[in-house]
Amino acid sequence: MSTTTVDLSDPMNSAEFAAVDVARLSEIAARHQRLAEFLRQENFSAVLLQQPSNFTWFTAGGCNERGGTTGATGALFVTPEARVLACSNVDTAQFFESEVSNMGFQLKERPWTEPRSVMLADLCRGRRVASDAGFPGTTDVGLRLLSLRLPLSEYDQIRMREGAKLLTHAIEATARAMVQGRTEAEIAGEVSHRLFRHGVQPERIQVLGDGRGTRFRRWTFDESPVQRYCTISAVGRYCGMYVGAARTVALGEPPESLLKAFEPAAMIAATGVFFSQPDWELFEVWNRVHRLYEKSGVEAEWRLADQAEIVEYEFGAVPLMPNSEFRLMAGTPVFWHPSVGPVLMGDTVLVGDRGTQVLTSSSEWPVIPVLVKGTPVDVPAILVVNV
């Protein structure tokens, strides 16, 4: 296999030298070692990674997407000895100067006029190759790669905490600045602006104004003005990892219908957080949450919307299902977002050996302590803004 390396032979002045992120370089080397061991155990000579989740995981934050859902711009061909980035000449500079600069990658380049599939087929020819997208002539191991991404490494956990803090601030700052008559779209735009400013990619924004969530659990937003209250929910991606949160704000005294739905929703959210514990299978957690829906007299509500999912380099790779046997372990992040009527709760937690940590908590937002098995669990309260 022939490869092309980036030419660094020309003289460079001091301003052109890129600083090497030693921590990231070390993390990539560790991930390469884990993937190499997987290849040896399964008797593969290489793995082809095209999915953004695996590309970003292996590169510890690099991106192979053009933006939104317009498709991947590069692939990784990894052997136990080498990591090769395969892309077109249009994308080479961005990859090697921005996404994986000085991270030990080799280059396999093609003209943009030639299909990338031809180059990838050439790389795979004559080898026993695994892949994460079922590329022709390879063995699809996409589902099995999740076990390499989870649990999150300490490197990942630090960055997820950073992303959670930024996302939470964007939602809460927007909520505190709410004024009567502002449209859902304007509110969503403010959240998006705050996220982009701090390096968080908005992946999903919901603004559920004046009880709209009762009928439309997956509503995003439109031009309707918010008059009495709304829930702002957002999912963002930071350093390749997903995190989500939701907050409810009332403009003046909250209506009785909102308060009535908030009580069971808060209890259900606290239960999900409390029972997200190491060595618990998701169906065991679900059984506790389901019981709260029943005891609170809102059993039908859980059937109207999804409740939670594992979040990491892929959003929702493992959803919470009544029969899910996925086993939680320390270092597993879960985004809880149960809903009751007009109330949508939302927080991302990190399962830990010494207790579950709510990553999207904030000292600047009111909370309500909910007792679960005698232990207080703080859940976000309704923020009341005077109008």
pLDDT of residue 69: 56
pLDDT tens sequence across 127-153: 999 999 999 999 999 999 999 999 999
Q: Are strands 241-251 and 343-344 parallel, antiparallel or unpaired?
A: unpaired
pLDDT of residue 181: 97
pLDDT of residue 71: 73
Strand, helix or coil at 367? strand
pLDDT of residue 354: 86
For the chain, residues with pLDDT lower than 70 are: 1-18, 68-70
pLDDT of residue 16: 47
Helix axes 184-197, 154-176, angle to 10 degrees: 140
pLDDT of residue 6: 44
Write the DSSP assignment of 235-298 as a string of letters. Answer: EEEETTEEEEEEEEEEESSPPHHHHHHHHHHHHHHHHHHHT--TT-BHHHHHHHHHHHHHHTT-
- Given a contact cutoff of 8 angstroms between Cβ atoms, the answer to whether 249 and 175 are in contact is yes
Question: Helices in the chain by DSSP H: which ranges?
Answer: 22-42, 52-58, 92-94, 116-124, 146-149, 154-176, 184-197, 256-274, 282-295
pLDDT of residue 18: 55
pLDDT of residue 387: 81
Q: State the burial class of residue 123 (Cβ atoms within 10 Å of its Cβ: 0-12, 13-18, 19+).
A: buried
In degrees, to the nearest 5, what angle opens at C-alpha 101 toward C-alphas 99 and 102?
Answer: 150
Q: Domains plus CATH for the chain?
A: 14-149 (3.40.350.10), 154-385 (3.90.230.10)
Round to whole Å and give the CA distance between 160 and 173: 20
Cβ neighbours of 74 (radius 10 Å): 27
Round to whole Å and give the CA distance between 285 and 294: 15
**Tokens in use for 147?**
């076990």
252 Rama sector, left if φ>0, alpha if ψ -120 to 50, beta otherwise: left
Nearest to 81 by CA among 53, 47, 54, 108: 47
pLDDT tens sequence across 32-85: 999 999 999 999 999 999 999 999 999 999 999 987 556 789 999 999 999 999
The letter for the amino acid at 283 is: F
Round to whole Å and give the CA distance between 168 and 40: 42
234: phi then psi, degrees, rounded to nearest 5: -145, 145
